[in-house]
Structures are given as structure tokens and as C-alpha cells.
Amino acid sequence: MILSASRRTDIPNYYSEWLAGRFREGYLCVRNPMNHHQVSRVALNPDVIDCIVFWTKNPIPMFPLLHEFDRYPYYFQFTLTGYGRDVEPGLPDKKNILIPAFQELARRIGADRMIWRYDPVFLTDRYSVDYHERAFGQIAEALEGMTRRVVISFLDEYEKTRRNMKGTRMEALTEEKMKLAAERFALIARKHGMEIRTCAEEVDLSEYGITHGACIDREYIEGLLGCRLRGGKDHGQRAACGCMESVEAGTYHTCRNGCTYCYANFSTERVRAGIRAYDPASPILCGKLEPGDVVTERKMRSLRKI
């Protein structure tokens, strides 16, 4: 099985101590976000965990704990955008801290296990197509040789993102503007030895050499493992999502990055409550088992075709 850590929160940045502890214990628990008292117990061992996918905007706190995951194949989805602190207030300086962090992580684990994400792309008076072109180019130049793939997507306006971005004057993301940005990104990426794929996008950008991609990518993981995988599409994701099935380790409303476009946080009050509940020793991230919980052993199996 593939473990996703995590679409719901930045585990490497804030909760890597918890995740390392869960791997030492051999299991973690995850609440069903649609049914609070329904809890899955997920086994964590090399017999059933085929690969870990780490999602982060700042892996630095995880550096001292990387050795805890040496028994497992893994790769990082590292988001680096051109937005300022008006959009991503919880992140440190990109030029002086986060780009060097990407480079350091790539040197440690190899470029083949690093995926750069420049997403989501949205447009305002400040963040125009020209702005994104400059920012994308500067980051791509710094990351040349450190990754071979960059993933882009355009902002999907969930109800939560509309609420969180209420004060932001957005420009309409027409297909024409998407294609304009994509064409410029593609030229830059090729110059720096990177392929571009999209994440959960319906727009066809193939004329620029950009293909539909998957973040939890069967083909990519098979390349890391050196074997074929069973398993189907993750039906819990959006229709345009190409990801294969996985198990989520994270909890919604617990990410402290504070990005205005985030779909995983309902409100700052919910996030504060989640952070207060954090216990590195708990089997559940930012929570604990409660009276009335029904804990079910998740059926875990290796997806490898041996």
C-alpha cells in the first residue's frame, strides 16, 4: 500500500516527530473525516507499506528524522511557488531558506525522489502571468539538476478557498490564460531539464508538451521500486485526479502554514484547536481515541506484483 503523508496537512514541517514515532510503534490511527467516531488502524511495516509520499512546503524539521524511514521507498512532493507572505504567511524566506532546503534534500536522497510543485496557480493584479513566469523561471534555475519533474495546477475554488481568499481580488482563470502560462512554464522547464505534468486538470496542454499527471503516480512509484504494482484509481479524489489508491496519514484542520488558498483548513479557530490537541505519542494526529470510537483494522496489503 502507498502511504500519503499527507494531502491534509504538512507532516514533514510540523508533525514528523509524530510520524516517526508511529513507524516505531508499527501503526497509526486515522479518523474518517466524514464520520468522527469511525477510526481506521493502519499497520506500518515494510511488508505492507510499499512507498511513502511526503507532501511539504518545508522539510527542514524532518531532516534529523529521515533515517527513521530508511527501510521504505519514499519521495517528496515539495511545493515552492512565487507567492509572498500575503498568500503563504507561515513559510520562511524562499530564496534563502526553502530553495536551499530543496537542494539539500535532493543531495541527500537524489533528484529522482524529488518532485517540485508550482501550484496552485491563480491570478491577481500582483500575481499576473508575467509574474508567475519570472518566479517559475527563478526557481527552476535554482533547482536545475535537483529534480526532473515539476507539477502545476490551477486554483480550484472550493467553498473553503473562496472564504479564505475573500479579501483577494482574483482574475478569471480563462483557458486562454491557463495556456499562456503553461506555454511559458514549458519553455522554462525544458531549458532546465524538467518535464511538466498537471495535477487534476481537465484542460489539455499537450500542445506545449505538458501531460496529465498524478501525484501518487503508479508509473513513477514502479520506477522507484523496480517492480509492477496492483491497485486501482483513488476514487476518493476528484474526477480529474489520476492518483492511484493510497492511505492518508493526516488530519484536516491541522496545518500551520496558513496558505490562503488551502482547502484542508476550515478556519483558523479549527486549526488552533487541532494544534492544541497535538500529542506526539498519540496514535491519531492532533487527537486521541475517544469514548464511542469504533476502531477497525484497515486491510493493508502490499501492491507489489512479485
Q: Can you give the pLDDT at residue 38?
A: 98
233 DSSP β-pair partners = 244
Q: Dump pLDDT digits (tens) for 160-216.
A: 566 667 777 889 899 999 999 999 999 999 999 999 999 989 999 999 999 999 999
User: pLDDT tens for residues 253-273?
Assistant: 999 999 999 988 878 899 999
Q: How high is the pLDDT of residue 134?
A: 99
What is residue 158's predicted lDDT score, i.e. its pLDDT?
Answer: 56
φ and ψ at residue 42, rounded to 5 degrees: -110, 120
Tens digit of pLDDT for each residue in 147-156?
999 999 999 7
Rounded Cα gap, residues 306 and 289, in angstroms = 37
DSSP calls for 104-144? HHHHHH-GGGEEEEEEEE--BSSS-HHHHHHHHHHHHHHHB
User: Helices 129-143 and 175-191 sit at what angle, rounded to 10 degrees?
Assistant: 20
Task: Give pLDDT, residue 124.
Answer: 94
pTM assigned to the model: 0.95
The confidence score (pLDDT) of residue 240 equals 78
User: Which residue type occupies 225?
Assistant: L
- pLDDT tens-digit profile, the chain (306 residues): 999 999 999 999 999 999 999 999 999 999 999 999 999 999 999 999 999 999 999 999 999 999 999 999 999 999 999 999 999 999 999 999 999 999 999 999 999 999 999 999 999 999 999 999 999 999 999 999 999 999 999 997 655 566 667 777 889 899 999 999 999 999 999 999 999 999 989 999 999 999 999 999 999 999 999 999 998 888 778 777 889 999 999 999 999 999 999 988 878 899 999 999 999 999 999 999 999 999 999 999 999 997
**Residue 88, C-alpha cell as written in the block:** 503563504
One-letter identity of residue 18:
W
Say what the pLDDT of residue 242 is: 85
Whole-number pLDDT of residue 233: 85
Q: CA-to-CA distance for 284 and 219, rounded, in angstroms?
A: 31
The DSSP 8-state label assigned to residue 209 in this structure reads T
